[in-house]
Structure 1
Amino acid sequence: MNNLTFNISDFVLHCMITPDQRTLAIASLVFIYLASFFGNLLVLLVIKLNEQLHTPMYIFISTLAVIDLANSTILIPKMLADIQFDSSSVPYAACMLQMYVILNLEEMESILMIFMALDRYVAVLYPLQYPSIITMKFAWAVVLLLPVITFLLNTSFVIFASELSFCQTNILPYCYCDYATMVSVACNKDPKYLSLLTNNTTVFGLVAFALILFSYARIVLAALKITSADGKKKALSTTFTHLLVVGFFYFPFLTFFNTCVTHLIVLGLAYIPLLATYILPGTGVNMTTEVYNTMIIVGNVVPPMMNPVIYSFRNKEIKSQIYVIFTGKKNIPETLQQ
């Protein structure tokens, strides 16, 4: 049977977590999921309740929270079940669907970050034109088009995945249905299958990241020319906050400190490995299953937990609204207004 193709009705997911690592892995994932779920839910609630936050920038922030909620909910509960029971069976169609949705969510977040960078770019460099360029209609158009664009672009992944034949095993050594893992265990050796992933990641990863860096480099240069100390501080603060979010999205491995230099270091060092997990397999570079699983899992589950903390809870307006929700007091302490 090793040289014959057989039709499969399901995949078996195997997380490659040893028994002595199981307790720590489950506890970590539960903590990450709860922090991500309630953190992003709180961001959405705050923005919904405060009409002053109904602006394009907060539309983007709330969209990011929705994407993070969906990403965590689709991934983590299934991972917990796989780890607890060592492996689990997933119907073929359900596995394809999960793979497709995860790819879409990752690309939606990458594209959204470009528009968030554009929002800050126009706000700092063209403040007078900002209200006419970044309108509510523009923000909602971006939000509504995100799923349409990504779902259409990623249809090719479903087509290619459906062409894969499995003549040796239907076991995926991974915690969820992942396109690259499917290709690695399939019998098809055509390089087009991994080339698709490499090309897609280059466009939505490297090119997107380069555009974000370019826009924020221009913002920093413009901010340094601002004569007002408060204006300069505000421009630089929002810039480095967004850069930190981008860093954790592309490669969220290092802990961070609340300084501009550290933000840039985290961004530079954290970006490479997550993209490498998608690009290197297509170039013929092999990674061990443990390394690949660790990098891709952390890269998918940590950003949804960190984004509310980095991007929203450091925001003065959101912190003030959270204080009002939990205390019922409208007199905001000075410490929250700084």
Structure 2
Amino acid sequence: MANGSITVSEFVLQCTINSDQSLLTISILIIVYLLSLFGNLLVILVILWNHQLHAPMYFYIVALAVIDLSNSTILIPKMISVLMLDTAVPYGACVLQMFVILHVEEMESFVLTFMAVDRFIAVIYPLRYPSIITNKTVGVGLFILNAFGLIFKSPFIFFATELSFCRTNVLPYCFCDYATMVHVAYPKYLGFLSAVVFTTGVFPLVLILFSYGRIAIAALKISAVDGKKKVFSTCLTHLLVVGLFYIPLLLSYILPGAGVQLSTEAYNTMVIIGNVLPPMMNPMIYSFRNKEIKNTIYRLFTGKRTRPSD
């Protein structure tokens, strides 16, 4: 051991939740996970099953469902096991979970941005939409962003393996998180995290707000009252999910990198909200309010062509 550092072969994760609230927290996490699992699997099945839904916007929804399914599966079962068993995590597995979590968060940010820009082009430039947004451009765009994300975050693995841990291998968190690992070790690498979050979080959020802002302005020019209500209702519900995802995560990543100290409880709460709630809500917001998807679900379970209300 040199300079007070220790050799770490595993991490002990500690969720800072009162023992009297532990059972309630575990129950909520199980319910949220089951809802996320059911909702996102149903969305993927329905869109793949109905060939009429093989269009750009629905491919975005499938991509979002896959990301949300991955996010929930990576996080929630591990959080539940930590709350129940206080299990240790091998060093390599912890670094891998950290990297995958960062990647799915980044991909969700990009997909939400793509969906907002897609709606912007559909509303503002409807005649050019079919030539600009095609299945091919969506597939190529998602592939490039996925590859870009993997390359862009590769330094995190190097930084994590270079960390020197002093006195403890206990992470006061419910899963393996880069910022928490750095705080336990040495915070000099938090600046890079803030730069990455600004590039993959703040900039996409600005594009999303710009897109929905232009859509709202266009909606004001619609003479039909029902048309205005539909557009504003869609924008507000989408912005609700965007806010639940972006605001807690951006604050939890940017503030520590900027030198602002957050309490463990505040940090845990923000990151858990940003990672756990959107995967449960996205199917309801982006999919189950869609007429074509609802009709396909009805056909899938009943064998009838359309719902009686249609």
TM-score range, shorter chain: over 0.9
Shift of 1:231: 5.1
Residue ranges of structure 1 left out of the alignment (5+ in a row): 251-270
In the alignment, the residues of structure 1 paired with residue 187 and residue 42 of structure 2 have an alpha-carbon distance, to the nearest angstrom, of: 47
Q: Is the CA contact (8 Å cut-off) linking 1:113 and 1:246 kept in structure 2?
A: yes
User: What is residue 138 of structure 1 aligned with on the other side?
Assistant: 137
Q: Which amino acid aligns with 1:157?
A: F
Secondary structure of the 1:38 match is helix
User: What is residue 123 of structure 1 aligned with on the other side?
Assistant: 122
User: What is residue 8 of structure 2 aligned with on the other side?
Assistant: 8
Q: Is the CA contact (8 Å cut-off) linking 1:313 and 1:319 kept in structure 2?
A: yes
Q: Which amino acid aligns with 1:80?
A: I
Shift of 1:166: 0.7
Residues 92-135 of structure 1: CA deviation (Å, up to 9, x unaligned): 11110000000000000101111111110110011111000001
In the alignment, the residues of structure 1 paired with residue 170 and residue 60 of structure 2 have an alpha-carbon distance, to the nearest angstrom, of: 39
Shift of 1:287: 1.3
Shift of 1:222: 1.6
Mean Cα deviation higher: 94-103 or 150-159: 150-159
Shift of 1:49: 1.2
Shift of 1:12: 1.0
Shift of 1:291: 1.5
- Mapped pair 1:59 → 2:34: no
Secondary structure of the 1:154 match is helix
User: What is residue 330 of structure 1 aligned with on the other side?
Assistant: 305
Shift of 1:160: 1.3
Shift of 1:233: 4.9
Mean Cα deviation higher: 163-172 or 138-147: 138-147
5 Å-filtered alignment, 1:1-338, equals 3-85=3-85, 87-186=86-185, 188-190=186-188, 193-227=189-223, 232-250=228-246, 271=247, 273-334=248-309, 337=310
Q: Is the CA contact (8 Å cut-off) linking 1:114 and 1:211 kept in structure 2?
A: yes
Residues 121-159 of structure 1: CA deviation (Å, up to 9, x unaligned): 110011111000001101111222232111111111111
Residue ranges of structure 2 left out of the alignment (5+ in a row): none
Shift of 1:242: 2.5
Secondary structure of the 2:305 match is coil
In the alignment, the residues of structure 2 paired with residue 19 and residue 184 of structure 1 have an alpha-carbon distance, to the nearest angstrom, of: 25
User: What is residue 259 of structure 1 aligned with on the other side?
Assistant: none
In the alignment, the residues of structure 1 paired with residue 187 and residue 180 of structure 2 have an alpha-carbon distance, to the nearest angstrom, of: 13
Q: Is the CA contact (8 Å cut-off) linking 1:242 and 1:311 kept in structure 2?
A: yes
Q: Which amino acid aligns with 2:116?
A: A
Secondary structure of the 1:226 match is coil
In the alignment, the residues of structure 1 paired with residue 168 and residue 2 of structure 2 have an alpha-carbon distance, to the nearest angstrom, of: 9
In the alignment, the residues of structure 2 paired with residue 75 and residue 41 of structure 1 have an alpha-carbon distance, to the nearest angstrom, of: 17
Mean Cα deviation higher: 277-286 or 60-69: 277-286
User: What is residue 257 of structure 1 aligned with on the other side?
Assistant: none
In the alignment, the residues of structure 1 paired with residue 295 and residue 272 of structure 2 have an alpha-carbon distance, to the nearest angstrom, of: 33
In the alignment, the residues of structure 2 paired with residue 238 and residue 189 of structure 1 have an alpha-carbon distance, to the nearest angstrom, of: 41
Shift of 1:329: 1.8
Shift of 1:234: 4.7
Secondary structure of the 2:6 match is coil
In the alignment, the residues of structure 1 paired with residue 232 and residue 258 of structure 2 have an alpha-carbon distance, to the nearest angstrom, of: 38
Q: Is the CA contact (8 Å cut-off) linking 2:166 and 2:184 kept in structure 1?
A: no
In the alignment, the residues of structure 1 paired with residue 306 and residue 170 of structure 2 have an alpha-carbon distance, to the nearest angstrom, of: 58
Q: For the structure 1 residues 180 and 33, does the alpha-carbon distance in structure 2 shift closer, same or farther, using more than 3 Å as the test?
A: same
Q: Is the CA contact (8 Å cut-off) linking 2:72 and 2:279 kept in structure 1?
A: yes
In the alignment, the residues of structure 1 paired with residue 216 and residue 14 of structure 2 have an alpha-carbon distance, to the nearest angstrom, of: 46
Q: Is the CA contact (8 Å cut-off) linking 1:244 and 1:310 kept in structure 2?
A: no
In the alignment, the residues of structure 1 paired with residue 210 and residue 68 of structure 2 have an alpha-carbon distance, to the nearest angstrom, of: 25
Q: Is the CA contact (8 Å cut-off) linking 1:44 and 1:65 kept in structure 2?
A: yes
TM-score norm. by structure 2 comes to: 0.95
Q: Aligned pairs, how many? A: 310
Q: What percentage of residue pairs aligned between the two structures are identical?
A: 58
In the alignment, the residues of structure 1 paired with residue 243 and residue 290 of structure 2 have an alpha-carbon distance, to the nearest angstrom, of: 18
Mean Cα deviation higher: 159-168 or 62-71: 159-168
Shift of 1:320: 1.3
In the alignment, the residues of structure 1 paired with residue 268 and residue 237 of structure 2 have an alpha-carbon distance, to the nearest angstrom, of: 28
What RMSD over aligned residues (CA atoms) do the two structures have, in Å? 1.7
Mean Cα deviation higher: 139-148 or 100-109: 139-148
Shift of 1:281: 0.8
Q: Is the CA contact (8 Å cut-off) linking 1:16 and 1:174 kept in structure 2?
A: yes
